[in-house]
Amino acid sequence: MNKPAVVSFLITLLLAAAVCIQAGEPVKETVGNDLKTDQQYYIQPVNTNFPGGGLVPAPPTLGSLCPLGIVQTAIAFIPGVPVSFSFPNSTMKTTISTDDYVNIEFKSKFWLCDKLSKFWKVDESSPATEEPSILVGGTKQEQNSWFKIEKAGERAGANTYKLTSFAGLIGTKPGALRIPRLVLTNDKAKTLLVIFKKFDEATITTSTSRVEKLGLRMFPFY
C-alpha cells in the first residue's frame, strides 16, 4: 500500500471513530426502556424545588390565554399532560437518541387555543432583554420547534435529562403564583432537569378522579 493510500485509510478510520464517539445514546424513560415515537410520556421536573407535578400547557400570565405557555402543574399527584415525540423530517427510526432533534407535542383532549398546534416552540417574538418563553403553537419543520434531550445524570435510579433547542438551554423561572414556567435561558443555574414516565391510561384516570373529588379540576388542564 503506497503512502497516500495509507494516509487516506488512516483519515477514514479517524473520521469513523469520531462519528462513533459523538453518536448519541437512546433516551430512557423511568423504568429503563427506550423513548419511542409511537408512545406517549409525561415529562416531570426533578429539580425545580416546587412541590408540583408534571408539565402542562397553561396561560403564561394571569391576564392572557393564547398562546399557551408550559408550566409545572401545582398539584403534586398530577403527572402532567402526556406528550409524544416525533422527528422533524420523515424517517423510519422510532427510538429517540440524545443527539436527535425532535418535536414535542402535547396530546391533551382539551384544547382552547384551537387555532394553534400543540407543538412546543421557542417564542422568537420575545424582546432581546427577556428570556423567551417556551410556548405551544409550533411547526414541525421550523427550527424553533426542534428540541434535543441530553443526558444530565441519574436520580433515584432513573436517568435525568435536560432539554435544549437550537437557541440554547431550556430552564425555568417563577411565573404566576410562583409556579415554574419554561423559558430559554443562558443561566445554567436555571436548567430544567426532567424524567420521562410512560403514559398509562389507568394513571390518568386515577389522577382525574382524585382531582374531581377534591373539587380541583383546573382550567383548562390538570
**Most confident region among 53-57, 106-110, 209-213 by mean pLDDT:** 53-57
* Cell 410512560 belongs to residue: 198
Q: Is the peptide bond before 220 cis (omega within 30 degrees of 0)?
A: yes
User: Predicted confidence band at 33 (pLDDT cuts at 50, 70, 90)?
Assistant: very high
- Which DSSP helix (H) or strand (E) runs through 155? strand 147-155
For residue 109, the model assigns a pLDDT of: 81
The whole-angstrom separation of Cα 110 and Cα 174 is 25
The whole-angstrom separation of Cα 178 and Cα 190 is 14
The whole-angstrom separation of Cα 207 and Cα 222 is 9
Residue in 104, 48, 55 with CA at minimum distance from that of residue 79:
55
Average pLDDT of the chain, as a whole number? 83
**Most confident region among 114-118, 124-128, 181-185 by mean pLDDT:** 181-185
The whole-angstrom separation of Cα 166 and Cα 148 is 8
Say whether pLDDT at 16 is over 80: no
Question: What's the pLDDT tens digit per position in 46-86?
Answer: 999 899 999 999 886 666 788 899 999 999 999 999 999 99
Question: What's the pLDDT tens digit per position in 156-209?
Answer: 788 999 999 999 999 999 987 889 999 999 999 999 999 999 998 655 555 544
**Most confident region among 20-24, 161-165, 208-212, 217-221 by mean pLDDT:** 161-165
Please state, in angstroms and as integers, the Cα–Cα distance from residue 48 to each residue in 25, 55, 57, 207, following that order.
Answer: 26, 12, 17, 22
Q: Which is higher by pLDDT, 212 or 144?
A: 144
